[in-house]
A and B are shown apart, each in its own frame.
Chain A
Amino acid sequence: MTAAEQKPNEQRIVITGIGLTSPLGDDLVTLRQNLLAGKSGVSPYNIRYVGNTLAGICEFDTSKHQTRKELRRGTRAGSIATYCCNESVINSGLDWENIDKSRVGIYLGVTEHGNVETENEVYELQQFDYDVSVWNHFHNPRTVANNPAGEPALNMGITGPHYTVGAACAAGNAGFIQGAQMLMLGDCDVALAGGVSESIHTFGIFASFKSQGALADHSDPSKASRPFDIDRNGIVVSEGGCVYTLERRSDALARGATMYGELIGYAINTDATDFVLPNPQRQSECVRLALSRAGLNADQISIVSTHATGTTSGDIQESAALRTIFDEHPTVHINNTKSFFGHAMGAAGALELAGNLPSFDDNTIHATINVDNLDPECALAGLVMNQPRESTSVNYVLNNSFGMLGINSTLIIGRP
Chain B
Amino acid sequence: MTPAEIRDAITDILATIAPDDNVEEIRDDVEFREQLELDSMDFLDIVMELRKRFRIQVPEEDYPQLVSMSSTVAYLEPRMNEH
**B79 is an interface residue with CB less than 8 A from chain A:** no
Contact among A67, A68, A134 with B51 in the assembled complex (CB-CB below 8 Å): A134
**A208 is an interface residue with CB less than 8 A from chain B:** no
* Cα of A224 to Cα of B52 in the assembled complex, Å: 41
Chain B: minimal CB distance from A62 (Å)? 12
A138 touches B19 (CB 8 A): no
Q: Mark B45-56, 1 if CB is under 8 A from A, else 0.
A: 100100110000
A128 touches B52 (CB 8 A): yes
Q: How large is the interface on A (under 10, 10 to 19, 20 to 34, 35 or more residues)?
A: 10 to 19
* Cα of A90 to Cα of B20 in the assembled complex, Å: 24
**A137 is an interface residue with CB less than 8 A from chain B:** yes
Given that A69-B37, A128-B52 are known contacts, is A137 also in contact with B19, CB under 8 Å in the complex?
Answer: no
Chain B interface residue count, Cβ-Cβ cutoff 8 angstroms: 13
A-B contact count (CB 8 A): 24
Chain B: minimal CB distance from A171 (Å)? 29
B contacts with A: majority SS: helix
* Cα of A220 to Cα of B44 in the assembled complex, Å: 47
Interface hits, B4-60 → A, CB 8 Å: 16-20, 37, 41, 44-45, 48, 51-52, 57
B41 touches A69 (CB 8 A): no
Contacts of A73 in B (CB 8 A): 41
Interface hits, A97-128 → B, CB 8 Å: 128
* Cα of A212 to Cα of B22 in the assembled complex, Å: 49
B51 touches A137 (CB 8 A): no
A133 touches B51 (CB 8 A): yes
Chain B: minimal CB distance from A372 (Å)? 47
A67 touches B48 (CB 8 A): no
**Chain B, Cβ-Cβ closest to A137:** B44
A69 touches B51 (CB 8 A): no
A72 touches B19 (CB 8 A): yes
Contacts of B44 in A (CB 8 A): 137
* Cα of A160 to Cα of B18 in the assembled complex, Å: 29
Contacts of B51 in A (CB 8 A): 133-134
Chain A: minimal CB distance from B20 (Å)? 5
* Cα of A242 to Cα of B37 in the assembled complex, Å: 31
A137 touches B41 (CB 8 A): yes
| A69, A73, A133, A136: most-surrounded residue (chain B CB, <10 A) | A69
Contacts of B37 in A (CB 8 A): 69
Interface hits, A169-196 → B, CB 8 Å: none
Interface hits, A199-236 → B, CB 8 Å: none
A67 touches B20 (CB 8 A): yes
* Cα of A354 to Cα of B16 in the assembled complex, Å: 37
* Cα of A73 to Cα of B45 in the assembled complex, Å: 10
Contacts of A138 in B (CB 8 A): 41
Chain B: minimal CB distance from A278 (Å)? 44
A134 touches B52 (CB 8 A): yes
Chain B: minimal CB distance from A309 (Å)? 38
* Listed A/B pairs (20) with beta-carbon separation below 8 Å: A67-B19, A67-B20, A68-B19, A68-B20, A69-B19, A69-B20, A69-B37, A72-B16, A72-B17, A73-B41, A133-B51, A133-B57, A134-B48, A134-B51, A134-B52, A136-B48, A137-B41, A137-B44, A137-B48, A138-B41
A-B CB proximity, top 4 nearest: A68-B19, A67-B20, A68-B20, A134-B52
